[in-house]
Amino acid sequence: MRIVNRKKFLITTIGLLVIILLIIALITVNVYNRMSKANEEAAIEAENQASASTTTTQTSNSSQTTSDVKTEEDTQTVTQSQSTETVTGDLGASGNFESGSIIQVANKQYSLSSSYVPDDLVWLDLPSTRDTQMRSEAATALTELFNAADSAGIELYCCSGYRSYETQSELYQWNVDTYGQTEADLVSAKPGTSEHQLGLAMDVTSESVGFDLLESFGETEEGQYIADHAHEYGFIIRYPQGKTAITGYSYEPWHLRYLGVDVATDIYNSGKTMEEYYGLV
């Protein structure tokens, strides 16, 4: 009888221990998930606040001033799918534009897969308004540009580099919720159509514009510096003034796109947009 009881006791004890361990494991996983979610939400909130503050400034300024977070890309693609799948065009077949290429296109016509994540992202070690990443080659080039600017007495700051498809989705949705579909589509990139997902774009800002993303940045000495010198390091001002009909986006003096020195210099000298340069319009 005592043996039976002891067996029962052991089985009960082990059973209880297993249940307790399971409960601990569940709590741990739950806490971890909540922490991850909280971090993600904090990041999104930071982006949104940048948008909101810029919008306020924009309203008192001009209708064209706008934050990149909600800018670049969109209007006509409203009816286009949210592009959860790859490219709508056939640039991939032409060779140089394949996924992962430095000159890969992301715009209203050519969207990225929702699963596309560059495999060589690195954290920028530069003055920044937040931690941000770019592809390795672009990060190296941006560092050289920032160093050259610094030598000329110009202090530039990174604002926003790589953004995941998911982050872009949340930003876009935030803009739709905040401004309504029409306005959002004028200033915000639908997920899959942002160059930031390529890891080849960086929004640059300065203290002179309050670390915001404003059209007036183009008139500051920092904005002038990158307009004049970015191509020497492989970057172009992707959405120039007066080219909205072609790029689909209003003037964004802060949005740099990396293409390598040769192409960037060619485009700079030609005065063309990337779309015109590659005959995509």
How much is the CA Rg of the chain, to the nearest whole Å?
24
What's the min distance (Å) between Cβ of 178 and Zn ion? 18
Residue 90 DSSP label:
S
Pseudo-torsion of CA 103, 64, 132, 190, nearest 10°?
A: -60
Told to judge if 73 belongs to the known catalytic residues of this protein, a careful annotator would answer no
The DSSP letter of residue 128 is B
Q: How far apart are CA 184 and CA 195, in angstroms?
A: 17
169 or 279: CB nearest Zn ion: 169
Map residues 46-85 to x or -, x wherever contact with Zn ion holds by CB under 5 A.
----------------------x-----------------
Q: State in angstroms the smallest separation of the CB of 90 from Zn ion.
A: 26
Q: For the chain, give percent helix, strand, coil, nearest 5.
A: 55, 10, 35
> Whose Cβ is closer to Zn ion: residue 151's or residue 243's?
243
Q: Which of residues 122-141 bind Zn ion (CB under 5 A)?
A: none
Query: Of 18-26, 41-49, 165-173, 198-206, which part binds Zn ion (CB under 5 A)?
Result: 198-206
Interacting residue with Zn ion among 108, 231, 255, 257 (CB under 5 A): 255
Which residue type is seen at 221? E
Q: How far is the CB of 36 from Zn ion (least distance, A)?
A: 26
Q: What is the largest CA-CA distance in the chain?
A: 96
Alpha-carbon distance values, 133 to 153, 174, 254 (Å): 25, 22, 16
CA–CA gap between residue 254 and residue 246 (Å, rounded): 18
Nearest residue (CB) to Zn ion, 170 versus 203: 203
Distance of alpha carbon 115 from alpha carbon 93, whole angstroms = 20
d(Cα 91, Cα 110) in Å, to the nearest integer?
8
Query: In this complex, which beta carbon is closest to Zn ion, that of residue 109 or of residue 132?
Result: 132
Least CB distance to Zn ion at residue 99 (A): 20
The region of 42-50, 164-172, 203-211, 261-269 touching Zn ion under the rule CB under 5 A is: 203-211
Among residues 203 and 212, whose Cβ is nearest to Zn ion?
Answer: 203
Pick from 74, 185, 203, 222 the residue near Zn ion by CB under 5 A.
203
Q: Is 215 in the site for Zn ion (CB under 5 A)?
A: no
C-alpha dihedral (100, 134, 159, 172), degrees to nearest 10: 40
243 binds Zn ion (CB under 5 A): no
Taking the complex as a whole, the smallest distance from the CB of residue 162 to Zn ion amounts, in Å, to: 11
Positions in the binding site for Zn ion (CB under 5 A): 68, 203, 255
Catalytic residue numbers, as ranges: 252
